[in-house]
Amino acid sequence: MTKTTTRFGIIGTGRITRRLVADLQSTDHVAVTAIASRDAERARWYADQYGIENAVNGYDQLLARDDVDAVYVSLPPSMHAEWSIAAAESGRHVLCEKPLAMNLEQAKQIDTACRTHQVRWLDATGWLHHERSRAFEVWLLEQKFGKIGHISASVSFYEPFQSGDHRLDRSLGGGCLLDLAWYAGGLIVFASIDDLPISVQATAVMRGDVPIRVTALIKLSDDISATLSCGYDTATRKWFEIAGSKSSLICDDFTRPWTERPTRCWIHDSTGSVESHTFEGNQERNMIERLIGDEDLTPLHQQALQTQALLDAIDRSLQQGGQSVEVEGV
Ligand SMILES: NC(=O)C1=CN([C@@H]2O[C@H](COP(=O)(O)OP(=O)(O)OC[C@H]3O[C@@H](n4cnc5c(N)ncnc54)[C@H](OP(=O)(O)O)[C@@H]3O)[C@@H](O)[C@H]2O)C=CC1
Ligand SMILES: O=C1CO[C@H](CO)[C@@H](O)[C@@H]1O
């Protein structure tokens, strides 16, 4: 894409839309021209509230407009594939909320539709685009921590759900597996470099048919293991650790949703020395810039598909009573 303005249309008016709209509007070469809701009055309210020129009644009506170059799909997970594919088929670039889809098959369909229609896509997984993640990547590639033995990722928020919250509705993609393990699983995939997850054993705490805590033991190779734990039942926890033969990286704030405050990580070695690093930046703006830029996004697409494959395997293990299952290669 050139440095002309990319005009975004937003589909959905949920909680996260309120946050991302500001990041879209404050990114250079981006304008938000329209927002669509299932409800005309809600679209009007959002448009007025956030200074968006056009309020659109119905998602398909947004795709029929000629002032939209890219679509931000901000809907419950069960609707991500349908509307991302529809956006791609109408020639629009796609920024789809996390989790990319309900499963790997749908995720691949989104990727294929975007390739076929030659549009760019990203899932809106902010942490991947933080300055800190770039530093982690460099450290991993230069083997700063020595030989990796274990990776641990944990994401929890205590959720006193409002009734009707889509996160408690399985048919809409509710539950912490898709919602929160997307973050933790993504981190494990990100940190594993060439040793992608190969098998998984998982257990869950359920509320009705929806997992509200998921814990998984993941094998990356014969000598690398990972643990993942996510839930709605404990206070906020966003923990990530990469333990290597020389040192361990510890980060206690890795998803950093919705704030621009500085974030830290620590590297502990076996002599007891601790190195501290502080990072700043707006991960969401970085993400939007990458989407509208001309960088090859294939590695980020692979990361998303591999994360989705890991979540599929965790789900299969849960359905099989916690048995060890293989992770499909992507
Ligand atoms: N990147 C991040 O940091 C975050 C990402 N998310 C992700 O964003 C997505 C949306 O989450 P969130 O904003 O919390 O969701 P909300 O439930 O607050 O909003 C979802 C929106 O989707 C639309 N919608 C369409 N059909 C339905 C339906 N059947 N039930 C409920 N809503 C429907 C509604 O908009 P309308 O009726 O106006 O059309 C609604 O406002 C999820 O995939 C979630 O995982 C969430 C929080 C943080
Ligand atoms: O991605 C997310 C970040 O935090 C929320 C907790 O309030 C999650 O439920 C959400 O989907």
* Residue 151 contacts residue 309 (beta carbons within 8 Å): no
DSSP letter string, 83-96: HHHHHHHTT-EEEE
| Closest-CA residue to 212 (of 245, 240, 180, 182) | 180
End residue of a domain, out of 124, 144, 169: 124
How many A from CA of 226 to the centre of ligand 1?
30
How many A from CA of 180 to the centre of ligand 2?
7
pTM: 0.97
| Closest-CA residue to 313 (of 197, 221, 155, 232) | 197
End residue of a domain, out of 124, 140, 162: 124
In degrees, to the nearest 5, what angle opens at C-alpha 95 toward C-alphas 140 and 60?
Answer: 160
DSSP letter string, 132-149: HHHHHHHHHHTTTT-SEE
Residues 204 and 170 in one domain: yes
Which ligand sits nearest to residue 102's alpha carbon? 1
3-state class of 265 per DSSP? strand
| Closest-CA residue to 238 (of 182, 314, 310, 301) | 182
Contacts of 164 (CB under 8 A, 6+ apart): none
pLDDT < 70 regions, the chain: 1-2, 254-260
Residue 98 lies in a domain: yes
Residues 182 and 278 in one domain: yes
The enclosing domain of 276 has a CATH number of 3.30.360.10
End residue of a domain, out of 109, 124, 139: 124
Residues 65 and 163 in one domain: no
- Describe the strand order of the beta sheet including 121-123 as a list of residue ranges: 54-57, 30-37, 6-11, 70-73, 93-96, 121-123
pLDDT digits (tens, 9 = 90+) for 77-116: 999 999 999 999 999 999 999 999 999 999 999 999 999 9
Q: Which residues, judged by CB distance below 6 Å to any ligand atom, belong to the binding site of ligand 1?
A: 12-16, 37-39, 42, 74-77, 97-98, 124, 126, 166, 172, 179, 257
Residues 154 and 16 in one domain: no
* CA distance readout (Å), 84 to 120, 181, 190, 227: 11, 21, 24, 31
Residue 40 lies in a domain: yes
The enclosing domain of 22 has a CATH number of 3.40.50.720
Residue 191 lies in a domain: yes
Domain interval for residue 251 = 128-326
pLDDT digits (tens, 9 = 90+) for 193-231: 889 999 999 999 999 999 999 999 999 999 999 999 999
Give the position of tokens 């230069």: 142
Alpha carbons 81 and 71: distance in angstroms, whole number:
13
Q: Which tokens is 325 given?
A: 């299952």
Rounded to 10 degrees, the C-alpha dihedral 21/25/31/36 comes to: 20
Residues 221 and 245 in one domain: yes
Residues 191 and 238 in one domain: yes
Residues 188 and 265 in one domain: yes
Residues 10 and 48 in one domain: yes
User: Quick one: 301 exposed, middle or buried, by C-beta within 10 A (0-12, 13-18, 19+)?
Assistant: buried
How many A from CA of 181 to the centre of ligand 1?
17
Ligand 2 neighbour 157 (Cβ under 6 A): yes
Task: Ligand 2, residue 176: give the atom nearest the CA.
Answer: 9
Ligand 2 neighbour 111 (Cβ under 6 A): no
Whole-number pLDDT of residue 3? 80
Total tally of structural domains belonging to the chain: 2
Q: Which tokens is 89 given?
A: 């088929």
Residue 280 lies in a domain: yes
Q: Give the residues across from 37 on adjacent strands.
A: 57
Alpha carbons 286 and 56: distance in angstroms, whole number:
27
Q: Which tokens is 54 given?
A: 């056009």
Ligand 2 neighbour 179 (Cβ under 6 A): yes
Residue 1 lies in a domain: no
Residues 293 and 270 in one domain: yes
Whole-number pLDDT of residue 254? 67
How many A from CA of 287 to the centre of ligand 1?
19
